[in-house]
Homo-oligomer: A and B are copies of this chain.
């Protein structure tokens, strides 16, 4: 196993264990059976776990001293993400029949449990931070603030989704809130979990978030459903802006490469900067499916 694969596996184990602990806690004594099953369904099996991998990679680059804090921060970010997927898929929004290659949560458990699971995952994110910070409670306030801003209002992913309810949505603000905010929270939380200043890590998350959004637009136009695990061509059906449709596939891929380069360039000086650059380069290769990945520089 090469070094990068070993790192990948270590990160995966830490993320899945931390998420499993949160779901076990939330499904404990007294929890209604179907709610517990729906919580588990919303979190496992995951997608690429991009955001929590970012959190752990940044924490590691910043020489974290309490790995349990970074694990809980990574899980909190992913729980917020999972909750947002469940609510975005609801009939009143995207009415998505599938997600991550299986029935969407409301298709499998009904709309009522989908509303409640999304709510519960938000609460779980903050509870997870408390447990993770037990050994260093002075880091809890900063992490809660970072996760709250990435999730909520005025400019987190909830606000980003709310732009779809406005008569006119400024495209940059929409994408920055809807996708960028939680990626920025992911990198900043990694730094804060390690006791580093989170501010300088915002740009890495924002650029990666925008890159991921552009890649998502490209996939929606150029991929196929089997490869993607969810329906394609949804942006056109739902009337949502799509960079690849508006500027063409080639230009969108050039733009994607530029954003990834800027992200890597923005990595602050820290003991693990070189390793982190390698991790980000590798991780961004997975933004596009295999049939398009060779077009990412």
List the B residue with the shortest CB-CB distance to A111.
B92
* Cβ contacts under 8 Å, A149 to chain B: 127
A6 within 8 A of B: no
Partner of A35, one of B83, B116, B127, B159: B159
Please report A residues at the B interface, Cβ cutoff 8 Å. Answer: 26-36, 39, 83, 87, 90, 92-93, 109-113, 115-116, 118-120, 122-124, 126-127, 129-130, 133-134, 137-138, 140-141, 144-145, 148-149, 151-156, 158-159, 161-166, 169, 173, 177
Known: A34-B162, A140-B140. 13 other contacts (CB 8 A): A26-B154, A30-B154, A30-B177, A31-B153, A36-B153, A83-B119, A87-B119, A92-B111, A112-B162, A120-B158, A126-B126, A126-B144, A133-B141
* Cβ contacts under 8 Å, A87 to chain B: 115-116, 119
List the B residue with the shortest CB-CB distance to A27.
B154
Are B33 and A166 in contact, with the CB atoms below 8 A? yes
* Cβ contacts under 8 Å, A133 to chain B: 141
Of the listed residues A32, A154, A163, the one surrounded by the most CB atoms of chain B closer than 10 A to its CB is A32
- The verdict on A115 contacting B144 (CB below 8 Å), with A32-B165, A154-B27 known, is no
Are B123 and A154 in contact, with the CB atoms below 8 A? no
Are B34 and A166 in contact, with the CB atoms below 8 A? yes
* Cβ contacts under 8 Å, A27 to chain B: 153-154
Of the listed residues A109, A124, A159, A162, the one surrounded by the most CB atoms of chain B closer than 10 A to its CB is A162
* Cβ contacts under 8 Å, A141 to chain B: 130, 133-134, 137, 140
Partner of A122, one of B35, B122, B129, B165: B122
7 nearest A-B residue pairs (beta carbon): A123-B152, A31-B154, A35-B162, A30-B155, A127-B148, A92-B111, A26-B153
Query: How many copies of this kind of chain does the complex include?
Result: 2
Inter-chain CA distance A120–B134, complex, in Å, is 26
Partner of A92, one of B115, B126, B161: B115
Are A35 and B130 in contact, with the CB atoms below 8 A? no
Are B90 and A162 in contact, with the CB atoms below 8 A? no
Inter-chain CA distance A112–B164, complex, in Å, is 9
Partner of A145, one of B35, B36, B115, B130: B130
Min CB distance A78 to B, Å, is 16
List the B residue with the shortest CB-CB distance to A88.
B115
List the B residue with the shortest CB-CB distance to A164.
B112
List the B residue with the shortest CB-CB distance to A173.
B30
Are A28 and B140 in contact, with the CB atoms below 8 A? no
* Cβ contacts under 8 Å, A137 to chain B: 137-138, 140-141
Are A123 and B151 in contact, with the CB atoms below 8 A? yes
List the B residue with the shortest CB-CB distance to A28.
B154
- The verdict on A156 contacting B123 (CB below 8 Å), with A111-B92, A115-B87 known, is yes
